[in-house]
Amino acid sequence: MVGKRGPILITCQNPDCTYFQIEDGKNITKNGHNSAGNQQYYCHHCRRFFIETKNTPLYDSRLPRTAVLIIAKHSTEKTSIRGVSRVTGHHRDTISRYYHLIGEHAEKLNDYFIHDISAGDCEMDEIWEFVPKKNKNLLTTDSEELGDCWSYTCFKRDSGLFLAFESGKRNIDTCADMLVRFFNRMELPTPENKISIFTDGNVQYSICLPELYCEPCLDYGQVIKVKEKNKLVYVIREKIMGNPDSKAISTSVIEGYNNKIRQRLSRFGRKTASFSKKLNRFISALNIFQFVHNFIEVKSSHKSPAMLESITDHLWNWSEFLNYHVQF
């Protein structure tokens, strides 16, 4: 006697289907396995087949899943691509390609999961790197995206959630793009439920923030560190908008997380031979780190930052991350 079939959790993964990644109204049945052993499905709406790895980094992979899993785990452990190549035995171009695929997958999941985050204390800062050479070594014929690269980052103080980042030149456009992404991922604050933002003395934030938030809904303060001969002399805590608590005006939390990025991603080292050769690879690495930090790594009480923010109810693992399908 044939047992009752379990529910089909996957949605149609064919982009041309009107029910692409849509849960409600889907009509999908299992249809055996392909030659690689992957489960195959049939969508009755678009009348096309697809396999379970479609739209994941594992799709059309010539490496076994265990090998891809090992490569993925090395992506946030400060190991150079050549180093991973020596450890795994796979060519460096293969490692680089999987890093890029995993980074694109992480970006999709970050956009999918991080939204409607409750108001609270948030810190913002910038972290410097170069792609693939420093500004002083640029030629006049080099692309505009090469040279010094700054990543504007934002973390939520209490949960440690890595909310948003934007990488590019250190200008107001890059700052504005990060703040728009941050704005879209947060709940709209109210005068009764304000959002608090703390940054360093970068004037770009004070120009862009008033365009997104009205003053009754925002408490914004800046930490200005005065140095002489590379030594800290004193710190100024300045209220820019609203009425933030002077003692709460600090960027020490995000400075610690930015240091964690430098410690975990070799391409972020100040003096390194593992620098990024292309900007999109640089962004992919940071997307992977963002997802791993938020969903896979423990923050406190055996919970990840995503669990503390009630984005997910469990601690993710690498296999779940690589196999996850976005659905609406």
| For residues 309-323, average pLDDT | 97
pLDDT of residue 1: 45
- Given a cut of 90, whether residue 50 has pLDDT beyond it is yes
What is the C-alpha to C-alpha distance for residues 8 and 294, in angstroms, rounded to an integer? 28
Q: How confident is the model at residue 264 (pLDDT cuts 50, 70, 90)?
A: very high
> Residue 164: which residues within 8 A CB-CB, separation 6 or more?
114, 153, 154, 178, 181, 182, 185
In eight-state DSSP terms, residue 288 is H
pLDDT of residue 35: 86
Residue with tokens 């009480």: 301
Helix axes 279-291, 252-264, angle to 10 degrees: 110
Spell out the long-range contacts of 199-206 with Cβ–Cβ below 8 A and sequence spacing 24 or more: 199/123, 199/124, 199/125, 199/223, 199/251, 200/125, 200/126, 200/224, 200/225, 200/251, 201/225, 202/126, 202/175, 204/171, 204/172, 204/175, 204/176, 205/124, 205/175, 205/179, 206/240, 206/241
pLDDT of residue 132: 93
For 163-177, 267-281, 287-301, which range has the lowest pLDDT when averaged over its residues? Answer: 267-281
Q: Report the CATH number of the 121-275 domain.
A: 3.30.420
Q: How confident is the model at residue 319 (pLDDT cuts 50, 70, 90)?
A: very high
pLDDT of residue 23: 94
- Given a cut of 70, whether residue 87 has pLDDT beyond it is yes
Domain-wise residue ranges, the chain: 1-54, 121-275
Q: Kindly list the distances between the CA atom of residue 213 and the CA atoms of 46, 174, 184, 219, in Å, as whole numbers in the listed order.
A: 44, 18, 12, 10
